């Protein structure tokens, strides 16, 4: 089943559309999703939908999709599925909610499952996502460490996922060298990223390569080349649907314009950010636009406009801070949903184990009962009563364990997990079993003694008959 899922996934990847046709492609996948209830198929479709929406179109991770994927992964108890689910949940928390600590928790939780299956695509993905969290936490050295781990676990070049993971390694290295102001090294990786992104056919990565190249040339002081790359990225920006990626671009591009005296163009770009935020009701984009508009109008000595956007920036900062609180509450609620899913999965595993143990206990009881019946009903040999007593005690213990397994969920519900009440309940069960055991043992022993007498009498009668026969023959 897992092999089939992987084949379907890689087949889908090989047929991946260009980003401009991505919405139609994901709509087709969603249509397929409505027509299946098979867990493995639903998992594969949900994974493809989330992959294309996030990796090619740049949309945010859908929390409902990632939750259903985790439920299926827990149900099927597949390490590869668990690794994928935890990866998407970590991405949702880190990228979607800005909760890097919780994101890291789930990325690290996914790693052992990915390592069990030796899935280099997933292992490298997790290390690159961990690195992005550390970049957000401004810990560049820890980010570099995880980028290198991801690079050491890239899929084989023959894998259809190789380039998709390689471009993320190149992006991470570019970001690191830009952060530490080493533009020569940054340019090396951003140039390689541009080449790989074209093979991947993802406008999202091509767009990133352009503005990261622009930033590298800007740090090198090559204003002309930086301007060329930023202009190309700007031409791409209208076809990119990922607002946060576009914001990252503007955070690179507008400061470049402002620092090189292109104030009017910086103002026009800042207005685009502002309009984008207004259209999407996105406070973060509005705040970015207001901040750059304030700087642009201040440079143009248009004090009234600069003051207006300064006030807007201040108000939006307050709103964003409040929105952060809301996001934190939502993240906590999401974490609680995850805990419930994991508890349900754990309970299901325990129920399955209890079911198996009940079956084993029934088999053991059946074997012992059949053996004792054979001893009681056999007319061929004499049986020691101590053997019956021994097997009787063993049967008593197995019956007690069987009843404990059978009644445990009911006892847990009525006692509310109280150890004292659970103990008293088990003592009560034992107090009923022991007298019953004594009665059965007494009856069994009596039957056994009677059977032994009959066997001895039959044997004695046979011996007498044989002796009498010999005497007659001798006379």
Residue 57 belongs to a domain: yes
465 vs 307 pLDDT, higher one: 307
Residue 20 lies in a domain: no
Q: Is residue 336 part of a domain?
A: no
List all residues 6 or more positions away from 445 whose beta carbon is below 8 Å from its beta carbon.
Answer: 385, 388, 389
**Cβ contact 243:285 at 8 Å:** yes
Residue bearing the bigger pLDDT, 127 or 4: 127
126-159 pLDDT, tens digit per residue, is: 999 989 888 877 789 999 999 999 999 999 999 9
More confident site: 136 or 305: 305
Position with higher pLDDT, 409 vs 269? 269
What confidence category does residue 391 fall into, taking pLDDT thresholds of 50, 70 and 90? low
Q: Which of 153, 178, 208 is the last residue of a domain?
A: 153
To the nearest 10°, report the CA torsion of 301, 307, 312, 317: 90
Q: What is the pLDDT of residue 84?
A: 96
What pLDDT score was predicted for residue 379?
59
State how many domains the chain has.
2
Residue 94 in any domain: the answer is yes
Average pLDDT over residues 386-396: 66
Please name the residue ranges forming H helices in 77-222: 79-91, 100-117, 120-136, 140-152, 162-179, 183-200, 203-220
The secondary element (H helix, E strand) that includes residue 6 is helix 2-14
How confident is the model over 199-212, as pLDDT tens digits?
Answer: 998 888 999 999 99
The percentage of the chain sitting over the pLDDT mark of 90, rounded to a whole number, equals 40
- Whole-number CA gyration radius for the chain: 36
> Alpha carbon 89 to chain centroid distance?
6
Q: Check if the beta carbon of residue 92 is closer than 8 Å to that of residue 337.
A: no
DSSP secondary structure string for all residues of 87-125 = HHHHHIIIIIS--HHHHHHHHHHHHHHHHHHT-HHHHHH
- Bigger pLDDT: 379 or 393? 393
Nearest to 55 by CA among 213, 273, 175, 203: 203
Give yes or no for residue 449 having a pLDDT over 80.
no
Q: Comparing C-alpha atoms, which of 130, 143, 128, 126 is closest to residue 180?
A: 143
Q: Categorize the per-residue pLDDT at 299 as very low, low, confident or very high, splitting at 50, 70 and 90.
A: very high
Of 80-89, 269-278, 408-417, give the range with the top mean pLDDT: 80-89
More confident residue, 371 or 232: 232
Residue of higher predicted confidence among 439 and 40: 40
pLDDT at position 2: 44
User: Which of the listed residues 153, 178, 207 is the one where a domain comes to its end?
Assistant: 153
Q: For residue 380, is pLDDT > 80?
A: no
**Residue 5 reports pLDDT greater than 50:** no
Is position 428 within any domain?
Answer: yes
As a whole number, the mean pLDDT across the chain is 80
Going by C-beta distance under 8 Å and a sequence separation of 6 or more, which residues neighbour residue 148? none
So what's the pLDDT on residue 395? Answer: 67
- What is the pLDDT, as a whole number, of residue 459? 66
Number of CB atoms found within 10 A of residue 366's CB: 10
- Residue 180's pLDDT band, with cuts at 50, 70 and 90, is very high
The pLDDT value recorded for residue 244 is 64
Find all residues with CB under 8 Å of 218, minimum gap 6, and list them: 226, 256
User: What is the model's pLDDT at position 326?
Assistant: 53
Higher local confidence (pLDDT), 176 or 201: 176
403 within a domain of the structure (yes/no): yes
Q: What's the pLDDT score for residue 248? A: 79
Q: Is residue 447 part of a domain?
A: yes
**Range 28-51 average pLDDT:** 93
Judged by DSSP in three states, 362 sits in helix
Question: Diameter of the chain by CA atoms?
Answer: 149
CA distances from 135 to 25, 95, 216, 255 (A): 32, 12, 17, 20
* Bigger pLDDT: 373 vs 221: 221
Residue 117 belongs to a domain with what CATH number?
1.25.40.10
Predicted confidence (pLDDT) per residue in 62-90, tens digit:
889 999 999 999 999 999 999 999 999 98
Of 411, 321, 390, 395, nearest to 362 (Cα)?
395
State the burial class of residue 76 (Cβ atoms within 10 Å of its Cβ: 0-12, 13-18, 19+). middle
- Check residue 437 and give its pLDDT: 67
Could you say which of 153, 170, 189 is where a domain stops? 153
Is the residue at 328 inside a domain?
no
Both structure tokens of 446: 């009596």
Domain that holds residue 105: 30-153
């Amino acid at each position: 089943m897992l092999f089939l899922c992987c084949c379907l996934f890689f087949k889908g990847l090989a047929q991946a559309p260009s980003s401009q046709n991505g919405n139609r492609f994901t709509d087709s996948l969603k249509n397929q999703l409505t027509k299946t209830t098979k867990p493995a198929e639903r998992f594969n479709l949900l994974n493809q939908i989330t992959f294309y929406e996030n990796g090619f179109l740049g949309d945010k991770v859908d929390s409902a999709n990632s939750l259903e994927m985790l439920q299926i992964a827990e149900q099927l108890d597949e390490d590869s599925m668990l690794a994928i689910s935890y990866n998407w949940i970590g991405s949702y928390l880190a990228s979607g909610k800005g909760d890097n600590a919780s994101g890291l928790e789930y990325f690290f939780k996914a790693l052992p499952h990915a390592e069990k299956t030796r899935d280099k695509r997933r292992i490298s993905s997790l290390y690159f996502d961990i690195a992005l969290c550390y970049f957000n936490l401004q810990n560049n050295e820890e980010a570099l460490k995880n980028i290198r781990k991801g690079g050491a676990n890239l899929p084989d070049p023959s894998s259809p996922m190789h380039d998709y993971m390689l471009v993320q390694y190149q992006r991470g290295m570019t970001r690191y060298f830009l952060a530490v102001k080493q533009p020569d090294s940054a340019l090396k990786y951003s140039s390689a990223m541009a080449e790989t992104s074209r093979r991947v056919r993802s406008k999202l990565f091509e767009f990133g390569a352009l503005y990261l190249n622009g930033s590298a040339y800007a740090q090198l002081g090559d204003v002309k080349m930086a301007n060329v790359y930023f202009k190309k990225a700007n031409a791409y920006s209208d076809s990119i649907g990922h607002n946060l990626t576009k914001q990252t671009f503007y955070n690179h591009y507008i400061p470049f314009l402002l620092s090189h005296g292109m104030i009017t163009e910086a103002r026009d770009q800042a207005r685009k950010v502002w309009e984008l935020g207004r259209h999407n009701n996105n406070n973060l984009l509005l705040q970015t636009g207001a901040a750059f508009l304030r700087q642009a109008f201040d440079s143009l000595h248009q004090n009234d406009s600069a003051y207006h956007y300064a006030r807007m920036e201040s108000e939006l900062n307050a709103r964003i801070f409040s929105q952060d609180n809301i996001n934190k509450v939502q993240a906590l609620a999401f974490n609680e949903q995850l805990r419930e899913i994991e508890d349900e999965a754990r309970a299901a595993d325990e129920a399955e184990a209890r079911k198996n143990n009940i079956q084993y206990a029934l088999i053991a009881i059946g074997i012992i009962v059949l053996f004792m019946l054979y001893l009681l009903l056999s007319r061929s040999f004499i049986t020691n009563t101590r053997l019956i007593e021994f097997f009787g005690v063993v049967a008593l213990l197995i019956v007690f364990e069987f009843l404990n397994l059978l009644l445990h969920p009911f006892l847990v519900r009525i006692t509310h997990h109280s150890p004292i009440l659970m103990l008293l309940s088990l003592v009560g069960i034992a107090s009923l079993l022991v007298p019953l055991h004594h009665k059965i043992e007494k009856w069994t022993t009596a039957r056994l003694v009677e059977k032994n007498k009959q066997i001895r009498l039959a044997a004695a009668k046979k011996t007498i008959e044989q002796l009498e026969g010999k005497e007659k023959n001798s006379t």
